[in-house]
Structure 1
Amino acid sequence: MIYLVVINPVSGDSNKKSLTYFLQEQAQSKGFDLEIFETTGNNDYEKLKEQVDFVMPDKLLVAGGDGTLLMAAEVVKNKEIPIGLFPLGSANGMAAELDLPSMMPNIPILDQQSFKRAWKIIEDGHSVKVDMVRINGKYSIHLADVGLNAEIVRGFDESDSRGFATYAHQFFQKYTSRKAFNYSVRTNDGRLYSGEAYMLSIANARMFGTGAIINPRGNVSDGTVELCVIKKASALSILKSAGSIITGNVEYDADQVEIISVKKASIELEPAQSFQIDGELQKPVSKVDVSILPSVVEVYCSKEFKDQA
């Protein structure tokens, strides 16, 4: 049995060495081989693909955030290699979606407890086949968007610091300077939508990494993707979204948020907008083509999530 772990050493605020030690102890006590792949930011996808093809692991473990998970998912899509996640990134939206335990970085005792909880989920073996979304020739497993949130990601990407405090600072800065744009959506079944918006999210999942719900209809295994059009970025809609972190549900007013379920769609924007995929900043876009790829990646999840899927 071979486990390959992908570690992003710069994601989040955490030191990944303690996780490496934990996994080495598990490998020794349980008798599996452990291979370690560290990202460098230089051709990581190609290098990881080569490593996976060479090692042919039985499980692929990911220590990082949504961006690292996305890269791993791209590598093993349509392969019988399940992914186990240690959510140690700045953004951990898919971990929240899959009901995985949050990590407590850089506090030794809590570190070990967090690792044990995540490891137990992998050992228990409950998993789901997750959809991916193809967007302008690239892939998403969680959330992509244009407009306000992509501007927040841009500010975060350009900042020298990481972590939730930096994200919160960027949120308030970009929210107060937000600008609307024009959009039009044409779906594969001929539906047409158009108007003015502050943000348009391409949502495979329900929630952001913070736990705030953007897509109440979201289901990562249902073979559809939702286009969530934020028509009015009002204080009320922000408060509703923030409240969903605690309540676990939200209902948006139709005049503020429109949700369009699709299998395939083409989106046009005027003017071109900032664009992010799973927390990774892309070039600004004026056109976005979207299509769903159903059930292409197996990911470990909690038993509760598995029972609801």
Structure 2
Amino acid sequence: MAQTSPMRLRLLFVINPVSGGKKKADPETIIKNYFRDRPEDVSFFLLNGPEQSLSAAIKKTGPDRVIAVGGDGTVKMVAEALLHKNIPMGILPAGSANGMAAELCIPADWEQVLALICNEQPSTVKDIDLIRVNNDICIHLSDVGLNALLVKNFEQRGIRGKLGYALSSFKTLWQSKRLAVHIENNKLSLTRYAHMIVLANARMYGTGACINPDGDLTDGLFEVVILRRLSIPELLKMLFRHRPFDPAKTEVLQARQVTISTRKRAHFQIDGEYMGRIRQVTATILPKALKVIIPVPVDAG
């Protein structure tokens, strides 16, 4: 009897060419070189390419796996296109902030990641939660207040990496004022004064700052993290030493749905993208809405 050949994987790589600054070679060339003598069927979608939606490209190519090549913004775009689809997403970290890759323990080495995607290293597909925030999707962390203003100042300054965040933090804390915030759902109704309110699907920002130590991407819940006060030394300590936020000044609530209202218009960001100023945010958990390829945990054997 003839032996059945293994299934030929169809892979679609979604590339953000401006992620992470300059490289020795562009991502498409690196990926093509890796697959030159391999059986996989590889195609590419460039985010700055001709006008075609990512969803249309996925429908046309019919991939078995879609790989986001970029930072958290690229991962978010791919996640939106794969929402509730039975197509796993891989992440090839290539951004200035790769918080979701770090959250999922995805290695920085591209050859290791490509081996995971091709099942040549132990990998598994994990179903993770997302948060619907107003009319958008959050894969990682969204917030109202101080950090959203920091994201805005960081984007305007144009200096990438932690240095850019550090320089922007002084301006941000000088500008930032505590917000009067009302938080409610069918189980709670409370008012707080805070520097920032975080809607946390994950545990830490791309800088490594741990905002939500007990976060779990698969528990069907998200956390509302209320930071009542924050100083420059605390902010810099979190950016550079990865210390958690001061629990004495922090309140954490778990929820499946929540509405946050501010007395005055407040700065707002989703997954590192500044969204402007808002008066109200409604968030709802989307349980197990996205499949992602991750390494098999060491203790899983």
TM-score (norm 1): 0.86
How far 1:307 sits from its partner (Å)?
Answer: 4.7
Q: Tell me whether 151-160 or 167-176 shows the greater mean CA deviation.
A: 167-176
Q: Is the 8 A contact 2:211 2:245 kept in 1?
A: no
Q: Is the 8 A contact 1:266 1:288 kept in 2?
A: yes
Give, in whole Å, the separation in 1 of the partners of 2:94 and 2:208: 15
Verify: 1:228 aligned to 2:225, yes or no: yes
**Equivalent position SS for 1:284:** strand
User: Residue 80 of structure 1 aligns to which amino acid in structure 2?
Assistant: N
**Equivalent position SS for 2:183:** strand
Q: Tell me whether 268-277 or 299-308 shows the greater mean CA deviation.
A: 299-308
Q: Tell me whether 118-127 or 221-230 shows the greater mean CA deviation.
A: 118-127
User: Residue 20 of structure 1 aligns to which amino acid in structure 2?
Assistant: E
Decide whether aligned partners of structure 1 residues 166 and 240 sit closer, same or farther in structure 2, where only a CA change above 3 A counts: closer
Q: Tell me whether 200-209 or 72-81 shows the greater mean CA deviation.
A: 72-81
Question: Which of 92, 109, 117 is residue 112 of structure 2 equivalent to?
Answer: 117
User: Residue 212 of structure 1 aligns to which amino acid in structure 2?
Assistant: A
1:270-289 equivalent positions in 2, closer than 5 A: 270-289=263-282
TM-score (norm 2): 0.88
Question: Which of 67, 83, 96 is residue 77 of structure 1 equivalent to?
Answer: 83
How far 1:87 sits from its partner (Å)?
Answer: 1.3
Percentage of identical aligned residues = 33
Give, in whole Å, the separation in 1 of the partners of 2:251 and 2:240: 19
User: Residue 156 of structure 2 aligns to which amino acid in structure 1?
Assistant: E
1:57 aligns with: 63
2:210 aligns with: 213
Verify: 1:183 aligned to 2:181, yes or no: yes
**Equivalent position SS for 2:143:** strand
Q: Is the 8 A contact 2:64 2:87 kept in 1?
A: yes
1:195 aligns with: 192
User: Residue 44 of structure 2 aligns to which amino acid in structure 1?
Assistant: I
Decide whether aligned partners of structure 1 residues 297 and 284 sit closer, same or farther in structure 2, where only a CA change above 3 A counts: same
**Equivalent position SS for 2:213:** coil
How far 1:235 sits from its partner (Å)?
Answer: 5.2
Q: Give the aligned CA root-mean-square deviation in angstroms.
A: 2.4
Give, in whole Å, the separation in 2 of the partners of 1:303 and 1:240: 32
Q: Is the 8 A contact 2:183 2:189 kept in 1?
A: yes
Give, in whole Å, the separation in 2 of the partners of 1:51 and 1:69: 16
1:106 aligns with: none
> Of Structure 1 and Structure 2, which has the larger fraction of its residues in helix?
1
1:163-174 equivalent positions in 2, closer than 5 A: 163-174=161-172
Give, in whole Å, the separation in 1 of the partners of 2:235 and 2:157: 23
**Equivalent position SS for 1:28:** coil
Q: Gapped runs of 5+ residues in structure 2?
A: 1-8
How far 1:202 sits from its partner (Å)?
Answer: 0.6
Q: Gapped runs of 5+ residues in structure 1?
A: 103-113
1:69-148 equivalent positions in 2, closer than 5 A: 69-102=75-108, 114-122=109-117, 123=119, 124=121, 125-148=123-146
Q: Is the 8 A contact 1:180 1:198 kept in 2?
A: yes
Q: Is the 8 A contact 1:216 1:251 kept in 2?
A: no
2:3 aligns with: none
**Equivalent position SS for 2:74:** helix
- Runs of 4+ residues deviating >4 angstroms: 305-308
Give, in whole Å, the separation in 2 of the partners of 1:287 and 1:27: 47
Structure with larger Rg: 2
Give, in whole Å, the separation in 2 of the partners of 1:237 and 1:170: 14
Q: Tell me whether 167-176 or 259-268 shows the greater mean CA deviation.
A: 167-176
User: Residue 118 of structure 1 aligns to which amino acid in structure 2?
Assistant: V
Cα shift readout 1:109-143 (whole Å, capped 9, x = no counterpart): xxxxx211222332333231111100111110000
Decide whether aligned partners of structure 1 residues 165 and 240 sit closer, same or farther in structure 2, where only a CA change above 3 A counts: closer
Give, in whole Å, the separation in 2 of the partners of 1:187 and 1:241: 30
How far 1:288 sits from its partner (Å)?
Answer: 0.6
Q: Is the 8 A contact 1:126 1:306 kept in 2?
A: no
Give, in whole Å, the separation in 2 of the partners of 1:42 and 1:199: 39
